[in-house]
Structure 1
Amino acid sequence: MPSSASQGSPVYVRYRDHVLFKNIQQPTAEAVERETIGWLTKQTDEIMLIEHDRTIPNLQISSGQGNGIIILKSCVIEIRELPLQKTSDCHLNSSEAIVKGEYALQPKKRKTQNGTGTQRCRP
């Protein structure tokens, strides 16, 4: 069994997934290996619930909604806690705020725009 992670912590999970097939003459006889990252929200002896998209708790929204996956622990190949920051002031694993110049696609440098910043269509 892979090492366990503490509840509420961000995790990386590699697991074997069940395969759904339809209208295939020779389906694969093996489970597909997949991976996911998210927060370990709940777990029992048999399953773990990994949330990968969730509402940030605040005073206006007491209990938000989330999206995730339930994985059978018997299918888990590897699980690791991720070293993310525990504050909402920073961007995931960056301890400093990202400034606008650090983003990969800066509006003035996009190839799909002309020099004025507007898109031009060719006939």
Structure 2
Amino acid sequence: MKKTIQFTIILMISVALLFGCAQDSTETQGDEPFEVTVTISVDYGDEVITDDSFMVEPGTVLLDLLEQEYEVEKTADGFITAIEGIEQDGSRFWIYEVNREEAQVGAGDFELSPDDQVVFDLHAWE
């Protein structure tokens, strides 16, 4: 009986230490800056305007990064109308994708994640 109690106590302490260490590791990783890449192009990448990597803080929103690093024009609603002096027109629009998937929210609502690959491309929207 005494050995069973000792075993149970040792097991509980081991489990507590294991979970405690795992949580500390996760919290530390979530606070560190991470890298993302941003490519600005025209006509499905036929002309690459710029291709850059940035270190960003957790919680960084895509539109904030764009406005910090590039010349960006937008409407009052936050729709991007020009990047680096290249304006959209009635037939071509600035459309972006992240990690090869078309974005489902506006750049002002998209929170970046580690290793995101963002492509803003000016092309006809189909």
TM-score bracket, shorter-length normalisation: under 0.3
Pair member with larger Rg? 2
From the two aligned structures, give the one with the greater helix fraction: 2
> Scaled by the length of structure 2, what TM-score is found?
0.22
